Amino acid sequence: MFARTKGQESFEQKGNDLVDKLANREREKAEITGPAPYFTEGDIRILLKHQENIIQQDPRVFLKKCELELMGNTWKNLERQSETLRKHPNTLIQMEKKVGGTSE
């Protein structure tokens, strides 16, 4: 950090000391009051989960990924369509867009 000279502190050293004091004060306050609630005032108290994971992105994006994965797996199990899918992996995504699935 900054070298300290006895009796002389730079502007940066004084600022660093002040920030350390403020951080320690807040840390001590948090130890007394405990953790903040997960939901705050005004939050909609809904958690979306898939299996054991909480969905932290836009649910529509997540569901679209699940849909594409499921559609791909279904097509891979079909005899003729799976040949096309293996040869041209992006075909399924392009077809899905043509049907009106995504706006990407």
Cα→Cα distances 64→12, 47, 82, Å: 50, 18, 21
Which residue carries 């660093």 as its tokens? 16
Q: Confidence band (pLDDT; 50, 70, 90) for 16?
A: very high
3-state secondary structure of 79: helix
pLDDT confidence of residue 17: 93
Is this model's pTM higher than 0.85 or not?
no
Which residue carries 């300290």 as its tokens? 4
**Cβ atoms of residues 59 and 48 within 8 Å:** yes
Q: What would the pLDDT profile of 32-61 be if each residue is shown by its tens digit?
A: 988 888 888 888 888 899 999 999 889 999
**What does the alpha-carbon distance between residue 94 and residue 43 come to, in Å, rounded to a whole number?**
38
Let me know if 53 is exposed, middle or buried by CB neighbors in 10 A (0-12, 13-18, 19+): exposed
Cα→Cα distances 11→7, 8, 21, 44, Å: 13, 10, 16, 45
